[in-house]
Structures are given as C-alpha cells and as structure tokens.
Amino acid sequence: MNKLKNFLFLFLILLIGFWFRFNNVNWDENFHLHPDERFLTMVGNAMTLPKNIGEYLNPIISKINPANIGYKFFVYGNFPLVLNKYLAVFYHKDNYNDFTILGRKLSAYLDLLIILFVFKTVFLLEKRYKFSSSLKYLAAFFYAIAVYPIQSSHFFTVDTFLNFFMFASFYLALKYYLKNNIRHLFLSSIFFGLALASKVSAIYILPLILFFIFFKNPKKTSHILLFLVILYLSLRLANPYYFQNSSLFDPRLNQDFVSSIKQLKSFEGKDIWYPPAVQWMNKPVSFLLVNLMFIGVGLPYFILMFIGIVWIILNLKSQIPACRQAGSNPHLKSKNYLLMIILIWVVGYFIYQSVSVFKSIRYTIYLYPFFAIFAGIGANVILNSFQDLRFRNKFGMTLVTIFLLVILLVWPLMFSSIYLNKHTRVEASEWIYKNLPSGSSILSEAWDDGLPLPIVNNYEKQFTGEQLPVFDPDTPEKWQKMNKMLAKADYYILSSNRGWGSISTVPEKYPKMSKFYKELLADKNPLYKKIKQFDPYYYRFFSLPNNWVEETFTVYDHPQVMIYENVKRQ
C-alpha cells in the first residue's frame, strides 16, 4: 500500500510539472516572439540532413554546420538543433512553425525528466544524511513549480537541453561516487558530452563532477582519463562542428566557432553600443539575487531555500568530529562534506555570475535543480518543526502543509497565467486592426517586434511603419532623424520595455533618450499621448518595477504594450 501511495505522490508531482510545462505550448500563436528561438528556427530550417555518417562528421562540408549555411556567427552548441531537425524530418514537421513547436515540446519533456533526476538525487543521499523519506518528493515538487524552468520549457532554446544533460551527468557522477559502478562513470561522461554539445557553458559544472570521480578513487587517475576520453568521443559525435575537421586525432577547435565566441565576448563593456548588452549596464551585484527571489522561484520558495542552506551548514558543524576521526582519508572526509561541496559549487557559481557583466537568469538555469533540493530540505525542516500540530485533513495533510502548498503555488500559477490568456502583442494587434484607421503610419523601435502582427482575419486594413533608432548613440544626427519620424507618424507603439527598460538605466550613455522616455511614460510628452495599454494577466494581482526584472520576463512572453497617438490626430 505504501508503494502505491508513494508512486501516486510522484505521479501527481510529475502531473503538476507536466501541466505547467505544456500549458499552451503555442503561447505566441506562431508569431515567433522569442528572438533567440526565432534565430534557431531559421538555422534549423536552413539545415539539410547529411547523406551518410561521413558527411555528418565532416564540419567542412556538412549542411548542418551553421557556418556552411550562412550562419557563421553561432555561439550555441549544435546538438539540440540537430536533434530537433532529425525529429522534425521524421514527423514531417520541418517547417517554420512546426519546427519551433516540436522544439518547445522536446524542451518541456527534458525539463520534466529533471524532476525525476532531482527525486533520484535526494534518494541517493537519503540514508547518508538520514533524511525523511518525504524529502525526495518535496525536492521533486519544488523543481516542478520553479517559475524560471517553467518559462524556459516554453522556449525552444538550448538552455533546457543544457540543464537536463548537466544535471543528469552530475547525478550519474554522484551515483558512481556512492555506488562504485563504472557504468555510471561511463554514462556521466556521455551526458556531459551532450551538455557541452548543447552549450560550452556546461564546462562550469566539470569541477564538481571531477570531484566525485577523483575522490572516489584518488589513486586511480585512469578513471578520470576514461571519463575525459569518453567525453571527447561523445562530444565529437554529438557536435562535430566544434572542431576544425573530422579527424579524431585533431582536437583543434573550429575557427568559425572560436570567432563567434570572441565576438560575443567583445559585446561586454560600457563603451560598446550593442543593444542587447545595454540592459546589463549599471546593474548592481544584487540584481541576479533579486530576480531569483521575486521571479525565478518566488519569495516563499527562496525563504525555504535559505533555511535549507542554513541546515546544510549547521549539519556540517555536527559532522566535524566524524571528519576528524577520518584523519587523513579524503574519501571518508568527502562523505561527510558531500552536501557542503555541492553547496559551495552552487553558491560560488551564483556569486561569480552575480559579479559578471551579463547577470542573466538564463546563465543560472542549471542551478535550479539544486535550488529545489535546498528548498526541499528547508520545507522538511519547517514541517518537522510543526509535526506536533495534529490538525490533519482526510488525506493526512497538516494545516502547515496546506498553507505551504498554497503560498508556493501562487507564484507559478500567477506567472503561468500568461499562457492561459492571449499574448499581449497579439491582443494589441487585434485592437489595432479594430480601432486604428487604415493607412495610419505607426512607429516601432529598432531591436523590438513591431506591431501590428500580421494576423489573419477579416480586417482589410494596411499600415505603414518605420523603426526609431533608439539604441543609436545620442548624437544630433540621431535626434534630427528621430524628430522627423515622430512628427510624421500617427501612432507610436512600445511593444515591450526592451528600449525604455534598458536605456533609462544608463542616462550617462543616453541623456536625451532617457529624458524622452521619462516624459513619455509620465504622459508628459508634448507630441504623443497614451491611448491604450495591454498588461500581462498577472499584473491584475501583482507587478514588479521593470528595472528590477531582466528582459527574459519583460520582452519575450510577458511584454507590456503601450500605444501612443500623435496629438495632431486628436
């Protein structure tokens, strides 16, 4: 009976995770409103599958090498794209719309599997730390409801693939360490190769994985060598395009890929005028932490994470005598310090990313399985502290458990509400077709999606439009051009905060543009007045200052759309 009950608990958690991840996969109604996803779809559609394995492995001639099909600037790993290409061809979905939807579904399935890996990771640690048998279910539940993984699962980008393969590799390395089965070492190296083939930032978890391998058998360097050899072979097979040629004995990197990485690195710095980089200027060290607390997981979740981290630290203190008894044996010591080593890596990487130039939440996605484990530990501490409260419902749930469930589900339900409602850009486009005169001139902004979207309906209206060069340097020439365009147009539409949300934070770089946005948003612009605004559904209950939140949550699927009319029309 207990086995059936436990199975049902896990099944329910997976069901919750499934609903959050597959809730309206086509959330943008085939308008491809995520720019990175749009780019990957274009590259994927341009690919041609190789005729044989020799062509596949040859980066010089293969047509699934982005550099050979007109996309020399490509900083991602190729494996997610190639995997989706093969599936798209097999299922006859190799077209612009279906390719994206298939990629989103694949992304969601992989993230769903992480819930199982979180469950199995805690199960591995259960006896060692004398965890409650319920902890593995708590940790799995916390990953199932984590907001940022839910959002990432709705995108066909490499991030979810990377997260899955990285955590799977970590889990198998941990299992090798605890079970001493060479098969787990073999599988860990393959999964790590797939992670690297998805994105080179997988390298950040390598020290943690190598720790488990080295401290299992410190004198057996052959195990590390075996891991690296299998890693190399799996990487060559999963992404041959990282390399200069098809020879296994020539590990030189592909110069096109190296040049792309160098070009991406060159976008850092305050003297760079690369629009997507503007949002990261003047961001405080606390920016990533604030986004984690209020967006990535939510405040109640974060508090439980913090409690879990404190528990790990205090638990380490209680184990110090056992570590002293272990003497100079590093294997016995590492057994006692296992959770602390994981925590050090998680916190260390988070701090590193917090002080870097690009403080993006997407660069921390592979920490979220660990966050779920920490939060599960924290929740377990709270529930144990209130175990004397005997008020239970017919399912055996205490009032404390019910209270935690309610406050924890508020966050993912609130942010997932966008997928239950029409996308704000689609909603705004429909309103434009219904209410604005045909032939109107509409201004949009460079580096953002212009409106109206080409909605197929009965509206027989056409509009003209131009894009304001808002990210250009604030020169007299720019403003001479801007003023002419603003005076001529009938309407001006901000389809997200990509421009005003970034530029307003760097007034020293954009003095006139910052002042312009300040007046416009305060409805004090002498030329344009706001006539309509479309907000994400959850704004009815809760909203955050836009300078707290990065573009991941304000541009792609959560945009606020504002429509302004030239006063000459009034």
Task: Pick the last residue of a domain from 417, 451, 486.
Answer: 417
Tokens of 509: 């770089």
Q: What is the pLDDT of residues 428-454, one digit of tens each?
A: 999 999 999 999 999 999 999 999 999
Whether 432 and 404 map to the same domain: the answer is no
Q: How many CB atoms within 10 Å of residue 293? A: 18
User: Does 208 have pLDDT greater than 90?
Assistant: yes
pLDDT for residue 186: 96
How much is the average pLDDT of 305-319?
A: 85
User: Does 343 have pLDDT greater than 90?
Assistant: yes
* Range(s) of the domain holding residue 178: 2-417
pLDDT for residue 394: 47
Whether 335 and 470 map to the same domain: the answer is no
Please give the residue that has the higher pLDDT: either 391 or 431.
Answer: 431
Whether 359 and 278 map to the same domain: the answer is yes
Whether 319 and 465 map to the same domain: the answer is no
Quickly state the pLDDT bin for 395 (edges 50, 70, 90).
very low
Q: What is the pLDDT of residues 450-488, one digit of tens each?
A: 999 998 775 678 999 999 999 999 999 999 999 999 999
User: Does 214 have pLDDT greater than 80?
Assistant: yes
Tokens of 538: 């959850």
Whether 222 and 331 map to the same domain: the answer is yes
Exposure string (b/e) for 86-121, b if CB count within 10 Å is 16 or more? ebbeeeebbeeeebbbbbbbbbbebbbebbbbbbbb
Quickly state the pLDDT bin for 402 (edges 50, 70, 90).
confident
Residue 559 C-alpha from the chain's centroid: 17
Q: What is the pLDDT of residues 223-281, one digit of tens each?
A: 889 999 999 999 999 999 999 999 999 999 999 999 999 988 888 766 777 888 899 98
How much is the average pLDDT of 518-547?
A: 88
pLDDT for residue 458: 59
Q: How many residues does the chain have?
A: 570
Distance, CA of 420 to CA of 401 (rounded, Å): 27
Task: Pick the last residue of a domain from 389, 417, 445.
Answer: 417
Query: Kind and range of the H or E element at 565?
Result: strand 561-566
User: Does 393 have pLDDT greater than 80?
Assistant: no
Distance, CA of 342 to CA of 324 (rounded, Å): 20
Q: Are 295 and 147 in contact, with CB atoms under 8 Å apart?
A: yes
pLDDT for residue 390: 47
User: Does 540 have pLDDT greater than 50?
Assistant: yes
pLDDT for residue 301: 97
Quickly state the pLDDT bin for 569 (edges 50, 70, 90).
low
Quickly state the pLDDT bin for 570 (edges 50, 70, 90).
low
Whether 262 and 182 map to the same domain: the answer is yes
Q: Are 354 and 287 in contact, with CB atoms under 8 Å apart?
A: yes
pLDDT for residue 459: 66
How much is the average pLDDT of 344-371?
A: 96
| Type of residue numbered 331 | H
Whether 233 and 213 map to the same domain: the answer is yes
User: Does 513 have pLDDT greater than 90?
Assistant: yes
Q: pTM value? A: 0.94
User: Does 322 have pLDDT greater than 80?
Assistant: no
Residue 267 CB partners (closer than 8 Å, separation 6+): 274, 276, 277
pLDDT for residue 331: 46
pLDDT for residue 403: 86
Q: How many domains does the chain have?
A: 2
pLDDT for residue 316: 72
Quickly state the pLDDT bin for 298 (edges 50, 70, 90).
very high
User: Does 146 have pLDDT greater than 50?
Assistant: yes
Whether 345 and 255 map to the same domain: the answer is yes
pLDDT for residue 332: 43
Whether 275 and 370 map to the same domain: the answer is yes
State the chain's mean pLDDT as an integer: 91
Q: What is the pLDDT of residues 39-95, one digit of tens each?
A: 999 999 999 999 999 999 999 999 999 999 999 999 999 999 999 999 999 999 999
Distance, CA of 102 to CA of 108 (rounded, Å): 10
Whether 9 and 36 map to the same domain: the answer is yes
User: Does 330 have pLDDT greater than 70?
Assistant: no
pLDDT for residue 321: 53
pLDDT for residue 5: 84
Tokens of 530: 């706001």
Whether 319 and 456 map to the same domain: the answer is no
Tokens of 210: 């190598």
pLDDT for residue 21: 98
Whether 234 and 89 map to the same domain: the answer is yes
How much is the average pLDDT of 547-558?
A: 86
380: phi then psi, degrees, rounded to nearest 5: -65, -40
